[in-house]
Structure 1
Amino acid sequence: MQLVDMFFDEIEDAKKRKVPFIIPIGTIEYHAHHASCGCDTMVINGVMRELEKTKEIVVCPPIWYGVASYAVGGPETGTIQVDVDVYEQYIYCILRSMLYGGNKNIYCVAHHQTEEAGLMPMTIACHKAAKKLIMEYMEDTRGRGWWGSNEYSNYYKNLGSGDDPFSYIKVIPLISANAQHECGGFDHAGKFETSLLYALYPNHVDLVRTKDNTEWFAESAKEASMELGQHMVRCTLEALQETII
């Protein structure tokens, strides 16, 4: 289900049943000459489109602009960079509306600088926004000392479950570390990311243009294939089936 297509009663029902609400966390960033600048966000959208076929989820509008950084190229390449502190506050505001609206099963799914599922500025911003919000929400709704109260004597027993307040909002990479290994690798605008985008949105990849690439990171893009991309989609979906609950 796409959030923008849902009616109020449908949204309320999904929240009550704790259906996972997914926020795609991407960027607008230079992906060499052969791949579209929306690649990071689009691959999340595409995978969620496939995940919807087998799992009940609510896909929220994606966050297109992100903490891209100018590590790959400056603004002249089309990369749009949002300052990390501004971004954290923006994500915080979105999550605050959702949490106070009764949504307690939110996933921020990121695809940018997530090699080996490591933490980088954009994902750190999402984690900080989520944890800050949860602490404020629990104090606001349960009062100071909420964690130390006997009401939370089962806190450690419930860790990671739906009764754990720190599980109300989770920040995960689109492709987990294990899934990256199953896929065979991970890169930026190389054969792996290009193949993934190609399998999900073939019209947003033009392999003929790989001849115009001069940067090291895009050299392997000419090896991209639909078969590799479909394999990566399968590996990613298998991991997400277990992670998103």
Structure 2
Amino acid sequence: MRYDRMRPHQVQAAIAAGTPVVLPLGVMEHHGGHLPAGVDLLAVTEILDRLGDEIVTLPPFAYGAASHAVAGPEHGTTLHVDASALVPFFEALCASLIRAGFRNVHAVIHHQSENIAQGMPTDLAFRLAARNAIFRHLEAERGAGWWGRRDMADYYAQHGQGTDPFNWIRLHPLFPKNDVFPFDHAGEGETALMLALAPDTVAMERAGEGDPWWTETAPRATAARGEEGVQLALAHLRKVLGL
């Protein structure tokens, strides 16, 4: 279900049912001559579309901290927004979702998610914002010292079960840590994903056009290989979203 197409009674039903609400997080970043700027976002949105009415999908956020680590701005396909500008936006969004009653919110990201354990600017900005929003909501609702009161004595048990307030908003990489599907930048893995998910955006004849080492494996990509990656991501998302 797309949130932007839902009416109030449908949103209220989703909140009551605890349906996962998912924000696709992405960036606009140079992905060689053969792939579009939105690879990292398209990989998330197109795979989430396959979950259909199992989830509520929020309008995607496309303008993360891409960085100029891969390429500078000269290609026109990298739009970098500093993480410091993202935190207040994400915090306001998270606070709004909490006030609306959502308690099963997730963000899914592909960009730089090979470093998800340590975090990279876009996902760190979202996670900090979500924690800030939750802390502020709890203090406003329950008062200062809310965690230290006797009625929170089961907090650690709740935490172990994943039912404490800090699970209201979570972030996940699109893929689980694996040695099955190649994780790369505009190489075989991402090119295969686009061939499976958005083939109209791929121009294989331009692979390697003015690009360095990171596109060298792109010619090996096939739609069938990409579909294997899609299925791996879907199984992972169903698990982390509790579907």
Fold equivalence (TM over 0.5): yes
- Counterpart among 218, 225, 239 of residue 242 in structure 1: 239
Alpha-carbon shift at residue 181 of structure 1 (Å) = 2.3
- Which residue in 2 is equivalent to 1:143? 143
Answering whether residue 202 of structure 2 is matched by residue 205 of structure 1, we say: yes
Report the counterpart of residue 56 of structure 1 in structure 2. 54
Q: In the alignment, what sits opposite 2:122?
A: 122
Match of 1:131 in 2: 131
Q: Secondary structure at the match of 2:155?
A: coil
Q: Given residue 220 of structure 1, which amino acid in structure 2 is its aligned partner?
A: T
Corresponding residue pairs, total:
240
2: CA distance, partners of 1:3 / 1:116: 30
TM superposition outliers: structure 1 runs of 4+ over 6 Å: none
Gaps spanning 5+ residues in structure 2: where?
none
CA offset at residue 158 of structure 1? Answer: 1.2
**RMSD (Å), alpha carbons:** 1.4
1:161 shift after superposition: 4.3
Q: Deviations over 1:113-171 (max 9, x none)?
A: 11153411111111110111111111111111111112211111111546310000001
Mapped contact 1:213–1:219 kept (Cα < 8 A) = no
With 213-222 and 95-104 compared, the bigger mean Cα shift is at: 213-222
In structure 1, list runs of 5 or more residues that go unmatched. Answer: none
Contact 2:33/2:211 (CA < 8 Å) preserved in 1? no
Q: What is the CA–CA distance in structure 2 between the aligned matches of 1:40 and 1:234, rounded to whole Å?
A: 17
Structure 2: distance between partners of 1:67 and 1:16: 34
Q: 1:26-175 maps to which residues of 2 (within 5 A)?
A: 26-52=26-52, 56-77=54-75, 78-115=77-114, 117-118=116-117, 119-159=119-159, 161=161, 163-175=163-175
Say whether the 8 Å CA contact 1:66–1:82 is kept in structure 2.
Answer: yes
Taking structure 2 as the reference length, the TM-score comes to 0.95
- The equivalent residue for 2:19 is 19
- CA distance in 2 between counterparts of 1:72 and 1:45 reads 23
